[in-house]
Structure 1
Amino acid sequence: MRNQARRISRTLLLMAALLLAGCASVTYAPMAPPRAPTDPNLVAANELAQRYPTLRGPERAQATQEIEQLLSTVPDQALTDFAAALPPGDPMYAHAGRVLQARGLPLPRPFDLGALWAVHAGNRPPADHDGYRPPTRLGVLLPLSGGLATAAAPVRDGLLAGYYGERRARPEIVFYDTAGGAGAAYERAVAEGADYVLGPLGQDEVAALLARPDRLQVPVLALNRAGDGAPAGSFSFALAPEDDGVAAADYLLARNVRQVLVLNGGDDNARRSVDAFRQRLEAGGGTVSDMLVVTGETPADMTEAMRNAMLKEDGAQAVFLALRVAQARTIAPQLVAAGFATRPRIGTSQLYSSGRADQDSVLDGIVFPTERWAAAGVAGLPMASTVASSLPTARGPAARLFAFGYDAWLLTAFMERLVTGSEAELRGATGLLRIDGEGNIVRTPSWATFTGGHVVPIADR
């Protein structure tokens, strides 16, 4: 533990060095009762949404997809008007709001998270003009030792970068090692006075902590998806493969692409991103026209199968590559030979640059989601190249986790802004951050492509 304390102390010093560069009466007319919807898809979606709170697991996920598919045909104004007329607490509002957000439209009112926020805010001082309202003592649950310590280190350092970059009053921050169990770390943080807990990081740790029969004395911002039945007062923020799939589907739907060939790398990350991609694409009126499974690091030639997927009736207008970078290097020339060179080719965040332009040049033209920090920079945080030159935990693939940690700090400090605003967002290091009706942080990434083997940002639209 003494060595761990020295390492954290050195990190704190390095972070500091990098970051020092009359009264009026108002009356309200009674609101008219909302008119019953006439659109049959809106009626069906509303009926399903009323049953949604009782569903769990696969049934809940299937209901979400069906509701979004039904709402995909409802015009913008009709959906906005219907959502605006829903009473507070109606389960339909979370679904309608999520679809409006995906279309880039404002919410008629904030999501119904006021009760959750009341638990979060506790006895904090009032918010500043920009919404800054951090906790008074922050307990951070991370695996500081053991097998996950390597992944936790960049998250910790990114969090500290945000913490020391803030000049206003900051909370006391204490790190707790979850190697001995997230539940024990949480109890210790609470016993020592934490009024807010950030973490844990592992999916199993999050599920176990949030499923505690005694629930939570102090609210939690989990650093992974919370799943069904998360207790009131807990929110979640994650860098999940599903995010890549949703982002890719939204990117293509915004460009009127409806028929997509999917190349599935076959591992768990690929499966999760593909499932999310398919659900989001179908909810937006598109379809996966073909799916090819790519196996091994040097897959066999699939040019003919890809060409057939494009040339058939209602063939693929674009391709989604849920592949590791080594697989993508083999497949990319085959896509060009199959005729996809002038059609959208969208990858996942696994297509990070190796720094070897001679190898990555075959990926030229493929678009993939990336962090805002790397693509365009973030106010209050030095450029990614500057931090990487001094801090190993901000280099290469670890830079994504560093940005994630930075955004975790932003969320602890500015959650009130997201919860109470109908158009509220945070311009974080990982992307544009919003909140959905179930307390999940929704992340819109920036985009990049390869040119001459080098990663080149694409201007956000």
Structure 2
Amino acid sequence: MFGNLKRLLVVGLGSIALAGCAVIPNADGNMAGNAPPVADAPVAGPSAGVLPTDTERHRVALLVPLSGANADVGQAIANATTMALLDTGAENLRITTYDTAGGAGAAASRAINDGNRLILGPLLRDNVGDVLAQARPADVPLLTFSNDTTVARNDVFVMGHIPDQSVERTVEFAISQGARNFGALAPRGDYGNRALAALDRAATAHGGTVVSVERYDRGNTSILSAADRLSQTGGFDTVLIADGARLSAMAAGRLKSAGNALPSLIGTELWSREDELTSTAAMRGAWFSAIPDERYRQFSESYSARFGSQPFRIATLGYDAVLLTLRLTRDWRPGRNLPANLLTDEGGFLGLDGPFRFGANGIGERAFEVRQVGNGAFTVVDAAPTGF
């Protein structure tokens, strides 16, 4: 399977490199030049009578916020889907965008009534229930851009980069390098809970032990106090700091002195692309896992040339959703419901963010690389797998 997918991705990436200046935004933010006939403009909700009848194209709905607080993120995802259609020359897809800001359930209802057989979205986990209530009776699956595994079902497939998997990958690598006993600093709340659960699963599975955990409310004083309490307990050789770059760098100085090898520090995907970490001496040698960025950099350059702004990192999910949909069309007839088993192929799919696949429970699995914090730069110390 990956052979065909790699050829498709190469075509898309080649077009990204060549077409960077072919389509650019005009003054009012719309696309100048000829847009593909298969991509409908964002709409509030056309009726079935407005859209033309398709017999050779698959109708696919993109449900993202195009107004309100998350409009910029939703628009970036919509732009990325347009890029994918342009880059691949897809002629068998009609993707229509529906604004969820006015009500995700209403947007889903319009999408279903318009004959769409697959929904890309929604973006927010809180919208999944409303969309699913409309989509499930019509047997229309969702590819949500959320990274919250609690919304995953056998008809809701989570495309987002799941933080738990980043932690598990790093813990597994740390144990392969000799780590055995883990301490942890984690904020109170859902993110910290998920990070600690992932640490415990991975440590147990690979022969490690979690010996000490300190929780805190997010804030400068709280994390420093938690780091001091953790240091006093001792008994660990590795510490997970489940927070962003700024707070992690602050805590690192309380856990070890610059130049000390132990305890080893590990983090989460929140450290990805946070260059300030590389200027903190106590962070040198720390590990974390993230989705490879090689193809993202090329995507970002093309996106900027076309739309005049930098994309949000999550925008690649929109691009990959189109690549995935194109792969599905090989075994999916226009006008028919999408066979559910096509989305759970064990061989997986290939996108800008690398290989990924879905379990029968709807949870997406991705390939993460392990990076090390150095003096002024990150380096990859364990490459992401190229397939499953």
TM superposition score normalised by structure 2: 0.70
- 5+ residue gaps, structure 1, are 14-122, 126-134
- Change over 3 Å in CA distance of 1:243–1:144 after alignment to 2: farther
> Are residues 1:377 and 2:377 paired?
no
- Change over 3 Å in CA distance of 1:385–1:247 after alignment to 2: farther
Looking at structure 1, the residues matched to 137 and 131 of structure 2 have their Cα atoms a distance apart, in angstroms, of: 8
Residue 452 of structure 1, aligned match among 375, 381, 387: 375
Tell me by how many angstroms 1:356 deviates: 4.8
CA deviations 1:196-216 (Å, max 9, x no partner) are 211111111012322459723
Looking at structure 1, the residues matched to 55 and 194 of structure 2 have their Cα atoms a distance apart, in angstroms, of: 38
Looking at structure 2, the residues matched to 390 and 355 of structure 1 have their Cα atoms a distance apart, in angstroms, of: 26
1:206 alignment counterpart:
128
Does the 8 Å contact 1:260/1:319 carry over to 2? yes
> Are residues 1:346 and 2:270 paired?
no
Does the 8 Å contact 1:370/1:430 carry over to 2? no
Does the 8 Å contact 1:139/1:175 carry over to 2? yes
Residue 108 of structure 2, aligned match among 183, 186, 190: 186
- Secondary structure of the residue aligned to 2:224 is coil
2:74 alignment counterpart:
152
Aligned pairs (5 A) from 1:69-108: none
Tell me by how many angstroms 1:156 deviates: 2.5
2:236 alignment counterpart:
316
Amino acid across the alignment from 1:332: A
Aligned pairs (5 A) from 1:5-404: 7-9=29-31, 136-211=58-133, 215-224=137-146, 225=148, 227=150, 230=153, 233-255=155-177, 257-295=179-217, 296-297=219-220, 299-300=223-224, 305-310=229-234, 315-337=235-257, 341-342=261-262, 344-356=264-276, 359-360=279-280, 362-372=282-292, 374=293, 376-377=294-295, 382=298, 384=300, 387=303, 394=310, 398-399=312-313, 401-404=314-317
Tell me by how many angstroms 1:355 deviates: 4.6
Amino acid across the alignment from 1:9: M
RMSD: 3.8
- Change over 3 Å in CA distance of 1:429–1:267 after alignment to 2: farther
Looking at structure 2, the residues matched to 234 and 268 of structure 1 have their Cα atoms a distance apart, in angstroms, of: 21
CA deviations 1:299-352 (Å, max 9, x no partner) are 436666444554xxxx32322110121111112233332996355422112113
Residue 443 of structure 1, aligned match among 343, 366, 371: 366
- Secondary structure of the residue aligned to 1:239 is coil
Tell me by how many angstroms 1:405 deviates: 2.4
Looking at structure 2, the residues matched to 226 and 12 of structure 1 have their Cα atoms a distance apart, in angstroms, of: 39
Residue 409 of structure 1, aligned match among 278, 299, 322: 322
Does the 8 Å contact 2:345/2:358 carry over to 1? no
Does the 8 Å contact 1:418/1:434 carry over to 2? no
Tell me by how many angstroms 1:6 deviates: 5.1
Amino acid across the alignment from 1:7: G
Higher RCO (C-alpha under 8 Å, 6+ residues apart): 2
Amino acid across the alignment from 1:429: L
Amino acid across the alignment from 1:457: V
Amino acid across the alignment from 1:377: R
Amino acid across the alignment from 1:279: R
CA deviations 1:204-233 (Å, max 9, x no partner) are 101232245972343322223474784x54
- Secondary structure of the residue aligned to 1:382 is helix
Does the 8 Å contact 1:245/1:275 carry over to 2? no
TM superposition score normalised by structure 1: 0.60
- Secondary structure of the residue aligned to 2:109 is helix
Does the 8 Å contact 1:262/1:320 carry over to 2? yes
Tell me by how many angstroms 1:261 deviates: 1.0
- Secondary structure of the residue aligned to 2:68 is coil
Amino acid across the alignment from 1:146: G
CA deviations 1:27-82 (Å, max 9, x no partner) are xxxxxxxxxxxxxxxxxxxxxxxxxxxxxxxxxxxxxxxxxxxxxxxxxxxxxxxx
- Change over 3 Å in CA distance of 1:301–1:148 after alignment to 2: same
Tell me by how many angstroms 1:289 deviates: 1.1
Amino acid across the alignment from 2:295: G
Does the 8 Å contact 1:319/1:346 carry over to 2? yes
Looking at structure 1, the residues matched to 117 and 158 of structure 2 have their Cα atoms a distance apart, in angstroms, of: 17
- Change over 3 Å in CA distance of 1:269–1:227 after alignment to 2: closer
Amino acid across the alignment from 1:281: A
Amino acid across the alignment from 1:412: T
- Secondary structure of the residue aligned to 1:377 is helix
